[in-house]
Amino acid sequence: MDAINRLLVAAREARENAYAPYSRFSVGAALLTADGEIFTGCNVENLSFGLTLCAERVAAFSAVAAGKREFTGLALITDTPQPVTPCGSCRQVLYEFSPDLWIISANLEGKQQMYRLQDLLPDAFSADF
């Protein structure tokens, strides 16, 4: 199974663990490290909405906690008519580690869209100032 399919399967499985009682918008993410390991995440909501975490950041923070700092790909799965992109906060967090990250977004019906993080976050905030 190629990397994209592995990521999509992992993201779909992660989505099943989402905790989204308020928005009912469950998201699964799977992040591929430079050495081929996959870290997953799901969104976790909180009644105090500002404390909610997106699936992409959960996956990224899990990878960082395991000592990984270089990522090559990210898959997102949602139950929406069209695939979605990461929010601005997630884009910035991912950019910190992998400006060249590719992102595949899909819905449960199999529609897919591929992006480059740099295209989704042009002129990103970086330490190169």
Catalytic positions, written as ranges = 56
Dist. CA 77–CA 83, nearest whole Å: 8
Single-letter code of the amino acid located at 71: F
Dist. CA 11–CA 79, nearest whole Å: 12
- Of residues 30, 62, 56, the one with CA closest to residue 43: 56
- Of residues 67, 63, 72, the one with CA closest to residue 7: 72
Q: Is 87 annotated as a binding residue?
A: yes
Q: Are 110 and 80 in contact (CB under 8 A)?
A: no
Q: Is 54 annotated as a binding residue?
A: yes
Binding residues for Zn(2+): 54, 87, 90
Binding residues: 54, 87, 90
